[in-house]
């Protein structure tokens, strides 16, 4: 929709609404001579930067910027060029791993290298820039990021926020981008596009025209319409079904109303029953409490009586224990007295027997002594006779002994002489042999000493020569060591000098390298700036060329020399004024200018032949328009200011809106530039849109001049840095050989120093070794000299010993011969003397045998006499000892008798004391038995009282449990009822029960009606009645168990009747052949792990706000119990 308004010169401004991010933009466009020039309203989007991290070969974070309109990425095979295009397609939402040259999406993550581990995620961020004002909240930039993890999950981010893939596709579709869009054209795509059919090629044109996004949105709308149609069909089916079910619901409503009436009546009847039973249970609880109180008092009294009886029994038992201890001690004392008296009696009897035996032995000893004395006298006489015979035999034997002694003495003398001579001869022989052996040993030792002395002399000579040789070698080595030390010092000084020079050259090289890197970086920066400036200048030149380009019809109608250029060529404004002129005149500055009116007339004459619309400005210097305040600042020449003022509308700049309104009021044709953008002409106000407008012609020219200057400066800096870099490179090239020469010289000096140090160290070690060897040789020579002197002395002594022993051996040989002859003669004489001595020795032996026999007889008689005398003395001594022992035994017997009498008296006293203690103990034992019998009776009474109290507690617990279950049944049954009615009389209860059963039967016949909302209330707990009459109401009464108790699956199912009647504790009848978990038997069985928290053992229930058991609970709160109760 365009609206056109004519001005005085035919210019027009139209409001052309077009959509840019959901906002309307007002754009002026001029028309001249029936022609119209309009600018395209399509925005442009370009790639600003790309950031990759962990994507395929890009392990580290890499950011690529694209400053120009055309960017080429070059590099060898395998450098990652295709990975960049894959990353762009991937971040734009590509879902096919095959098109990304991968098996799955996780393959795009960096898989690792020998020097780097594999990564766990890959991320690519694509930044788009829109110079026409798209995405104003981020200064015309859109950042789209995609991240994929190793498990295959991925996420999308747009402007830093997590978004869906659809959001990304919608946003990119508005900009004309997509994974399969023409914005990415792979190799061979152009040929494929050219070879396809026109219908297929149309999709590319539609995409370029921005129609694809509308087709996609139309497809989505069609899908939603189809889904809505399907939903409408389903809703129609559901409505039909609902209508069919409505009649049935009405019938059920009527049944529900009747069911509600019956349930209300049943609730009233049950409320009356509940009131009556609660009254009965309250009375039973009161009675049970009174009975429990009385039983508790009786139990406490019985316990006190039992305690006193137990205390008295304990005291009596302590007395009994003390009496028994005293009795035991007395009996022990009595036993010891009896044993002592018996021992004394035995000793007295033994003493009497010993006295009698001693008297008998004494008498026998006296008789034996007399007999032995007579025998001794007889033996003495026989001994005298034997002594006389012995004296004669001894005389004869003495004669023979003298003869034998004389012969023996002669024989012995002769033999001694012979033996002495033999011994002397043998000794002389041994001495001779020893002397000969000593002489031989002395000769051998003398010979060995001579040999050793010769060896020492040879060793001394050899060692002396070696000592001289080593001394000369040592002197030579010491001189070589001094020379090596001097060489080492010189080599070290040279190495230090070369190292200093090398370090200086290295520092200079590093400084030049750093300078080269700085210059190379500066050159690259200057080259990049020059390239950017040139690229921008070329772009500006293209824009300016497009602005300067003449229409084709104008070029055909007029020759080029008849045209003076464009309006902008006649202006030279300042930079701040150029922007204002561009805002004021816009594309009017690009209109061509002809030289004169003739040219304009020629163009008008050819107008019917020209296709399209043309606009041109005549540079008629005769025209004198009123100068514009803004145009006067445009730098135009005075001669051109007139026709420029006539061709261009007058324009001025307003300080604020009020000033603009004032200017527009004074001159409606004046174009007023508003502050902050926009302009006003009379009543027409034109405001800029959100998108930034393209720069104007004058601004482009100023920018071109600035960019040209920047390019020239960058080129100058690049040439300057290139020259400096070349100089530094030459210096580095010159420094390289010098540094290599210094390195080689330093290496040679280091090697020479190492060789000199090694040679010096080797010579030093050799000198030390030679010194040690010389010291060892000197010590060895000294030792050999001492040993030679000692050997010479020993050799002289040995030679003298050899001569002396030779003389001694000759003398001993003569002496041995003489002694041998003397020994032979003495041996002959000794043989004759031995024969005579043998004869005399035989006679002496005979006489000696006779004398020996006589001596043996005499000795025997003497021994017998001595034995008889000894036996007589012994017998008399025994008799005297027996007499003494008999007297002592009599005295001991008298003392033992007196002691025995005393012991007997003490034993009788102990016996009497034992009898007294036994009587006391027996009396105490009788009292203990009586006290024990009394305590047992009292204990029996206490147990009976405790059983009574326990029965009362059980009765109270049963009554309380029945009351609690009744209260629970009341709470579950009479939901919403404030309180129970007054309890009915007892005689009315049977009628109420009959009425309840009839209503329940009628409800059961009516059938289920909305069980989830209006369930039948459970019947009152039948076990709460003291005496149930029947079990006919099993169905209704069993509901209390299901509603009031949560059973666990492991509850026993064997049938057992409760003590309260035919029903279980919770109201479930026993006739159903199953036992509820809350029956008394179940409570006793499951006392340690209750299966429900409402009806545990003895009516205990668990508090809702505590994890402990209330009342008289003996069940531990285990985790299993809590889990059971949680169900």
684-686 and 35-36 beta bridge pairing? unpaired
pLDDT at 618: 80
Please tell me what DSSP assigns to residue 982. Answer: P
φ, ψ (nearest 5 deg) of residue 409: -65, -40
Distance CA 136, CA 691 (A): 8
- DSSP secondary structure, 863-908, as one string: HHHHHHHHHHHHHHHHHHHHHHHHHHHHHHHHHHHHHHHHHHHHHH
- CA–CA gap between residue 91 and residue 124 (Å, rounded): 6
Dist CA 957 CA 289 (whole Å): 10
Please answer whether residues 1056 and 1073 qualify as being in contact, where contact means their C-beta atoms are separated by less than 8 angstroms.
Answer: no
Inter-helix orientation angle 697-973/212-548, to 10°: 160
CB atoms within 10 A of CB 1093: 20
pLDDT of residue 210: 67
**Pairwise CA distance, residues 1058 & 955, whole Å:** 13
How many CA atoms, within 13 angstroms, populate the side-chain half-sphere of residue 676?
6
| CA distances for 105 relative to 56, 78, 148, 167, 286, angstroms | 11, 20, 8, 20, 81
**CA–CA separation, 63 vs 53, rounded Å?**
9
Q: What CA–CA distances, in Å, run from 961 to 876, 953, 965, 1121?
A: 116, 12, 6, 20
Residue recorded with tokens 């509901």: 1039
Residues linked to residue 673 through DSSP beta bridges, in sequence order: 653, 679
| Residue 610: predicted pLDDT | 63
Per the listing, tokens 């095979």 go with 77
Q: Of 68, 16, 24, which Cα lies nearest the Cα of 707? A: 68
Q: In what order do the strands lie in the sheet with 684-686?
A: 651-653, 671-673, 679-681, 684-686
Tokens encoding 24: 């309307």
**How far is Cα 1089 from Cα 116, in angstroms, rounded to an integer?**
62
Q: What is the pLDDT of residue 527?
A: 84
Distance CA 763, CA 750 (A): 20
Cβ 62 vs Cβ 51: under 8 Å = yes
d(C-alpha 280, C-alpha 1026), whole Å: 8
Backbone phi, then psi, for 204, in 5-degree steps? -65, -40
Cα three-residue angle 547-550-552, rounded to 5 degrees: 135
Using alpha carbons, list the distances in angstroms from residue 779 to 180, 455, 784, 787, 792: 106, 17, 9, 12, 20
- Segments of the chain assigned to CATH 3.40.50.300: 45-210
Q: 371 to each of 358, 565, 883, 1022, how far by Cα in Å?
A: 20, 198, 20, 130
pLDDT of 160 reads 92
Listed as ranges, residues in the chain with pLDDT below 50 are 1-42, 690-692, 1011-1127
Q: Which CATH architecture has domain 45-210?
A: 3-Layer(aba) Sandwich (3.40)
CB 653 within 8 A of CB 630: yes
φ and ψ of 580, to 5 deg: -65, -40
Report the DSSP beta bridge partners of residue 1043: none
Nearest-angstrom CA–CA distance, 526 and 718: 5
Strand, coil or helix: 1063: strand
pLDDT at 948: 87
Beta bridge partners of 32: 35
| Neighbouring residues of 1049: CB distance < 8 A, sequence distance ≥ 6 | none
| Alpha-carbon span 589 to 585, nearest angstrom | 6
Residues 6 or more apart in contact with residue 497 via CB below 8 angstroms: none
SS3 assignment, position 1069 = strand
**Residue 51 φ then ψ, to 5°:** -115, 125
| Strand 651-653 to 671-673 pairing | parallel
Q: Which two tokens stand for residue 530?
A: 């020059």
CB 118 within 8 A of CB 110: yes
């Amino acid at each position: 929709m365009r609206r056109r308004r004519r001005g005085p010169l035919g210019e027009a401004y139209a409001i052309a609404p077009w959509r840019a991010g959901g906002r309307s933009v007002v754009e002026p466009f001029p028309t001249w001579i029936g022609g119209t020039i309009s600018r395209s309203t399509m925005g442009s989007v370009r790639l600003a930067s790309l950031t990759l991290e962990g994507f395929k070969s890009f392990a580290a974070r890499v950011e690529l910027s694209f400053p120009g309109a055309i960017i080429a990425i070059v590099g060898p095979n395998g450098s990652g060029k295709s990975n960049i295009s894959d990353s762009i397609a991937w971040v734009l939402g590509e879902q096919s791993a095959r098109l990304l040259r991968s098996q799955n999406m996780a393959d795009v993550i960096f898989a690792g290298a020998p020097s780097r581990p594999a990564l766990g995620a890959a991320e690519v961020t694509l930044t788009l820039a829109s110079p026409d004002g798209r995405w104003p909240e981020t200064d015309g930039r859109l950042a789209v990021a995609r991240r994929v993890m190793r498990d295959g999950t991925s996420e999308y981010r747009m402007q830093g926020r997590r978004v869906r893939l659809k959001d990304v596709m919608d946003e990119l579709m508005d900009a004309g981008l997509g994974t399969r869009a023409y914005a990415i054209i792979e190799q061979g795509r152009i040929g494929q596009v050219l070879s396809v059919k026109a219908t297929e090629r149309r999709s590319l044109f539609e995409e370029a025209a921005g129609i694809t996004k509308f087709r996609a949105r139309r497809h989505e709308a069609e899908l939603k319409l189809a889904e809505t149609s399907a939903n409408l069909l389903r809703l129609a089916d559901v409505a039909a079904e609902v209508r069919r079910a409505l009649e049935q619901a009405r019938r059920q409503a009527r049944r529900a109303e009747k069911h509600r009436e019956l349930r209300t009546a049943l609730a009233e009847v049950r409320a009356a029953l509940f009131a009556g039973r609660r009254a009965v249970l309250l009375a039973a609880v009161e009675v049970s409490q009174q009975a429990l109180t009385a039983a508790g008092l009786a139990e406490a009294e019985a316990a006190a009586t039992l305690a006193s009886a137990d205390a008295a029994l304990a005291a009596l038992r302590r007395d009994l224990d003390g009496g028994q201890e005293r009795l035991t001690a007395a009996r022990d004392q009595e036993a010891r007295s009896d044993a002592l008296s018996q021992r004394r009696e035995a000793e007295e009897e033994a003493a009497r027997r010993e006295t009698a035996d001693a008297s008998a032995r004494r008498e026998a000893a006296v008789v034996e002594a007399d007999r032995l004395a007579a025998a001794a006298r007889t033996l003495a006489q026989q001994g005298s006779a034997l002594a006389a015979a012995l004296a004669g035999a001894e005389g004869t034997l003495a004669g023979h002994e003298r003869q034998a002694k004389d012969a023996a003495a002669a024989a012995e003398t002769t033999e001694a002489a012979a033996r002495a001579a033999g011994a002397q001869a043998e000794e002389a022989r041994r001495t001779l042999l020893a002397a000969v052996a000593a002489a031989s040993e002395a000769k051998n030792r003398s010979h060995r000493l001579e040999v050793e002395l010769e060896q020492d002399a040879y060793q001394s000579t050899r060692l002396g020569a070696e000592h001289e040789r080593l001394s000369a070698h040592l002197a030579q080595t010491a001189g070589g060591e001094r020379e090596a030390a001097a060489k080492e010092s010189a080599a070290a000084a040279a190495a230090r000098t070369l190292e200093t020079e090398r370090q200086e050259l290295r520092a200079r090289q590093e400084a030049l390298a750093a300078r080269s890197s700085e210059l190379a970086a500066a050159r690259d920066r200057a080259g990049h700036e020059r390239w950017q400036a040139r690229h921008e200048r070329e772009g500006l030149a293209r824009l300016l060329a497009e602005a300067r380009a003449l229409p084709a019809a104008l070029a055909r109608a007029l020759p080029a020399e008849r045209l003076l250029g464009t309006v902008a060529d006649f202006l030279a404004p300042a930079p701040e004024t150029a922007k204002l002129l561009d805002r004021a005149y816009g594309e009017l500055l690009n209109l061509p200018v002809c030289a004169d009116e003739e040219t304009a007339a020629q163009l008008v004459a050819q107008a019917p032949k020209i296709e399209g619309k043309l606009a041109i400005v005549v540079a008629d210097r005769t025209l004198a328009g009123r100068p514009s305040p803004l145009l006067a600042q445009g730098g135009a020449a005075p001669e051109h200011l007139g026709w420029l003022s006539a061709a261009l509308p007058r324009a001025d700049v307003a300080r604020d809106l009020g000033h603009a309104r004032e200017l527009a009021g004074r001159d409606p044709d004046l174009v007023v530039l508003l502050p902050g953008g926009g302009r006003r002409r009379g009543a027409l106000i034109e405001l800029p849109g959100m998108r930034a407008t393209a720069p104007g012609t004058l601004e482009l020219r100023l920018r071109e001049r600035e960019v040209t200057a920047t390019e020239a400066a960058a080129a100058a800096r690049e040439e300057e840095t290139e020259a400096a870099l070349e100089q530094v490179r030459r210096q580095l090239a010159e420094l390289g050989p010098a540094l290599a020469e210094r390195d080689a010289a330093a290496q040679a000096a280091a090697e020479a120093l190492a060789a000199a140090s090694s040679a010096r160290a080797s010579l030093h070690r050799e000198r030390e070794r030679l010194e040690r060897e010389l010291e060892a040789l000197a010590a060895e020579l000294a030792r050999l000299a001492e040993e030679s002197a000692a050997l010479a002395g020993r050799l002289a002594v040995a030679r003298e010993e050899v001569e002396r022993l030779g003389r001694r051996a000759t003398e001993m040989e003569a002496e041995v011969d003489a002694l041998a002859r003397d020994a032979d003669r003495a041996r002959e004489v000794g043989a004759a003397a031995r024969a005579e001595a043998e004869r005399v020795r035989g006679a002496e032996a005979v006489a000696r045998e006779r004398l020996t026999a006589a001596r043996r007889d005499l000795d025997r008689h003497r021994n017998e006499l001595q034995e008889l005398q000894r036996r007589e003395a012994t017998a008399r001594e025994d008799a005297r000892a027996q007499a003494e022992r008999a007297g002592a035994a009599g005295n001991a017997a008298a003392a033992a008798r007196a002691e025995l009498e005393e012991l007997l008296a003490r034993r009788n006293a102990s016996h009497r004391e034992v009898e007294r203690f036994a009587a006391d103990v027996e009396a105490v034992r009788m009292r203990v038995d009586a006290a024990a019998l009394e305590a047992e009776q009292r204990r029996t009474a206490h147990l009976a009282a405790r059983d009574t109290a326990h029965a009362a507690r059980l009765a109270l617990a049963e009554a309380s449990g029945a009351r609690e279950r009744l209260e629970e049944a009341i709470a579950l049954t009479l939901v919403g009822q404030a309180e129970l009615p007054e309890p009915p009389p007892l005689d009315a209860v049977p009628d109420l029960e009959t009425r309840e059963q009839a209503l329940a039967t009628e409800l059961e016949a009516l059938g289920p009606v909305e069980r989830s909302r209006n369930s039948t209330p459970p019947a009152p707990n039948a076990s709460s009645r003291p005496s149930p009459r029947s079990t006919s109401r099993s169905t209704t009464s069993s509901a209390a168990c299901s509603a009031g108790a949560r059973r666990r699956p492991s509850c026993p199912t064997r049938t057992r009747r409760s003590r309260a009647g035919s029903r279980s504790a919770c109201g479930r009848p026993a006739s159903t052949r199953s036992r509820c978990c809350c029956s008394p038997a179940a409570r006793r069985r499951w006392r340690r792990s209750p299966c429900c928290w409402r009806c545990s053992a003895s009516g205990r229930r668990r508090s809702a706000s505590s994890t402990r058991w209330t009342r008289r609970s003996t069940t531990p709160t285990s985790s299993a119990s809590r889990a059971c109760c949680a169900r």
